[in-house]
Chains A and B, each alone.
Chain A
Amino acid sequence: MISIDIEKKLKAYKGQHTLKIKTEIAQGSITKIYGPSGAGKTTFLKTIAGFTTPENGKIIVNGISWLDTAEKISLPPQKRGIGFVFQDYALFPNMTVLQHLEYATGDYTWINRLLAVGNLETFKTHKPEYLSGGQQQRLAILRALAIKPKFLLMDEPFSALDPATKSGLIEELKGIFEELQATVLIVTHNPRELDNMTALEFTIS
């Protein structure tokens, strides 16, 4: 069980607003998060990953405190073992597709499987600048999965994919999530998107 109770001030065009989220997420579930732009969806994911710290809050994962502002506890991102798919992909311009995965893991069986899932086997030696937007986004997903995360945070992970590629990839990912018994949070703009993938959802407004 993942218990989250955070409060963070967000800068907005007209002043500030406060992001307040109190929720519990079951282990192994896939949850969809939607809400308007600027509501704090990305900040919420980055808080869980440890990239940003809220003013107040607690995050407890399976009884282990990842964050407790009152106790001044904040587990570094490296120790949280979270897979993160960034909205801007955050690919390393100096690395090829294969090097991205090798940087994350030395398990070549897993790397080859991921390359097949992302349909990127023939692009192994390509650097990000030579990939299309959709290929870059798939690589971002594969890199996050390379560490076999128990907790996967995905920020608009399918926005650059065409409908056919998206549905094929989603089917593959469902199998992988189940195999890894991963808890997945997926941020999306579109409330109807991913209806066949997720059982749970909540809105940040």
Chain B
Amino acid sequence: MDLSPVTLTLKLAAITTLLLLLVGLPLAWWLSRGRSFFKIIAEALVTMPLVLPPSVLGFYLLLAFSPQHGLGKWLHNSFNIQFVFSFKGLVLASVIYSMPFMIGPIKSALQQLPVSLEQASYSIGKSKWQTFINVSLPNIKPSLLTATVLTFAHTLGEFGVVLMIGGNIPGVTRVASIAVYESVEQMDYSAANFYSLVLFAITFILVTGVFVLNRYRFKSPLE
């Protein structure tokens, strides 16, 4: 059995999760502070992939990054970067598509932390950055874990967006979900079953792991 769709899927999920942690943490912190009109629009945009059909998102990404038009053409001509039908494109699409799964839990957890915790840290002379690293972040560990695993698991199961922007190139863009679809098209149910079982098993272990770990989470003294 060709294992490359599975390894490619895991690689895509790991890179996407890592990038979203780097982008998502500051973005979630920013969104959790205040409710300006600009923030509401930004949050709506971040949430859109949750409700938008993946094919719609994939279609617009395909248009935006097509080397024949606008932004895609400029990236191709100026930096020789091509997102369409490449692994880079899958990463970009996955980061956008899985963003709400990273931002949502972290933002909610930050909003639920009593504001007095930050104020207590400021009162003893700590900067916003020191407070974020030493107080806010350690106290949202369960949500951070949930967000990380949800993002990873959700990326494993992406289909519509990756098919639209990446196509089905073996070893480059042919991830496990696409391999399932292609195997069914070719009536190769044994291969489809293999890829499906692998995806099911990984996802089940991840989600169960989060539930087990979060059972032992610490309680706030205010609870």
Q: Do A and B bind each other?
A: yes
CB within 8 Å for A94 and B125 given contacts A84-B120, A129-B219: no
Provide the bound-state CA to CA distance between A179 and B139, in Å: 35
Contact call A93/B120, Cβ cutoff below 8 A: no
Q: Which of A50, A93, A103 is within 8 Å of B220, CB to CB? A: A93
Q: Does A4 contact B (CB under 8 A)?
A: no
A81 to B125, CA, bound (A): 7
Stretch at the interface among A6-14, A139-147, A190-198: A139-147
Interface of B is mostly: helix
Contacts of B125 in A (CB 8 A): 78, 81, 104, 147
Cβ-defined contact, B126 with A93, below 8 A: no
Q: Are B123 and A91 in contact (CB under 8 A)?
A: no
**Are A129 and B218 closer than 8 Å at their CB atoms?**
yes
Q: How extensive is the interface on chain A, given as a class?
A: 20 to 34
Interface digits, A161-192 against B, CB 8 Å rule (1 contact, 0 not)? 00000000000000000000000000000000
Q: Is A98 an interface residue (CB 8 A)?
A: no
For residue A141, give the distance in angstroms from its CB to the closest CB of chain B: 12
Tell whether B134 is near chain A: CB-to-CB under 8 Å. Answer: yes
Interface size class of B (residues with CB under 8 A): 20 to 34
Docked Cα-Cα span, A90 to B120, in Å, equals: 6
Quick one: given A90-B116, A91-B221, A129-B221, are A77 and B139 in contact (CB under 8 Å)? Answer: no
Q: Is the CB of A143 within 8 A of B124?
A: yes
Is the C-beta of A88 less than 8 angstroms from some C-beta in chain B?
yes
Q: B218 contacts which of A89, A93, A144 (Cβ < 8 Å)? A: A93
CA distance A94 to B121 in the complex (A): 13
Given A84-B119, A144-B123: A94 and B135 interface contact (C-beta under 8 Å): yes
Q: Does B122 contact A (CB under 8 A)?
A: yes
Q: Which residues of B contact A89 (CB under 8 A)?
A: 221
With contacts A51-B119, A88-B114 taken as known, whether A127 is within 8 angstroms of B134 at the C-beta atoms is no
The answer to whether the Cβ of B222 comes within 8 Å of any Cβ in the partner chain is yes
Question: CB distance B122 to A77 under 8 Å?
Answer: yes
B7 adjacent to chain A (CB < 8 Å): no
Indicate if the CB atoms of B122 and A90 lie closer than 8 Å: no
Which residues of B have CB within 8 Å of A147?
124-125
**Beyond A49-B123, A147-B124, is A90–B117 a contact (Cβ under 8 Å)?**
yes
Known contacts A88-B114, A88-B222, A93-B218; A146/B135 CB under 8 A: no
Do residues B134 and A90 form an inter-chain contact, with CB atoms below 8 A?
no
Residue contact A78 to B116, C-beta cutoff 8 Å: no
Point out the residues of chain A lying under 8 angstroms from B135, CB to CB. 92, 94
* Nearest residue, chain B, Cβ from A140: B120
Is the Cβ of B114 less than 8 Å from the Cβ of A94? no
Given contacts A51-B119, A84-B120, A131-B221, 13 further A-B contacts (CB under 8 A): A76-B122, A77-B123, A83-B124, A84-B123, A86-B116, A92-B120, A92-B121, A92-B135, A94-B139, A94-B141, A103-B124, A127-B218, A136-B221
13 A-B pairs with C-beta separation under 8 A: A51-B122, A77-B123, A81-B125, A83-B123, A83-B124, A88-B114, A90-B114, A92-B121, A92-B138, A93-B219, A129-B220, A143-B120, A147-B125
